[in-house]
Amino acid sequence: MTEAEYMAITEAVKEAIWLHGLLKDLGVGQKQLELYSDSQSAIHLAKNQVFHARTKHVDVRYHFVREILEEEEIVLQKIHTMENPADMLTEVVTRAKFEHCLDLVNILHI
């Protein structure tokens, strides 16, 4: 796992918290938000911080993710890399993969 993967989860959790508050202010209540990651090691670290040599570089300010997950307002789940629609926005993909990602988010393509 890279620090970037864990930081990405941290940033996604921060955005989810903000969006959850916005939806609540608009009168759209949701009990739980689902957040997906294709990094199994980052998910395990977020759910169960175990201190050892390979994780000591993770900054303390990112550990709040574990506390948020314990409150169960946000659920962090694994998504298979091939089923991750965010790939079309974050990396170079083939046309076939791009069209598959469009299908995953229900966007029609020609």
For residues 12 and 58, state if they share a domain: yes
For residues 66 and 86, state if they share a domain: no
Alpha carbons 70 and 106: distance in angstroms, whole number:
32
Number of domains in the chain: 2
For residues 47 and 92, state if they share a domain: no
| pLDDT at res. 49 | 63
Alpha carbons 20 and 18: distance in angstroms, whole number:
5
| pLDDT at res. 109 | 77
71 alpha carbon, distance to own chain's centre: 16
Question: Which residues, 6 or more positions from 11, have their beta carbon under 8 angstroms from its beta carbon?
Answer: none
For residues 58 and 99, state if they share a domain: no
**Which domain does 59 fall in, by range?**
3-79
This prediction has a pTM of 0.72
Q: Residue-wise pLDDT tens for the chain (110 aa)? A: 567 777 888 888 999 999 889 989 999 888 888 888 888 888 887 777 664 455 555 666 567 888 888 888 888 889 888 888 888 888 888 899 899 989 988 888 77
| pLDDT at res. 7 | 81
Let me know the angle formed at the C-alpha of 14 by 69 and 79, rounded to the nearest 5 degrees: 60
| pLDDT at res. 67 | 84
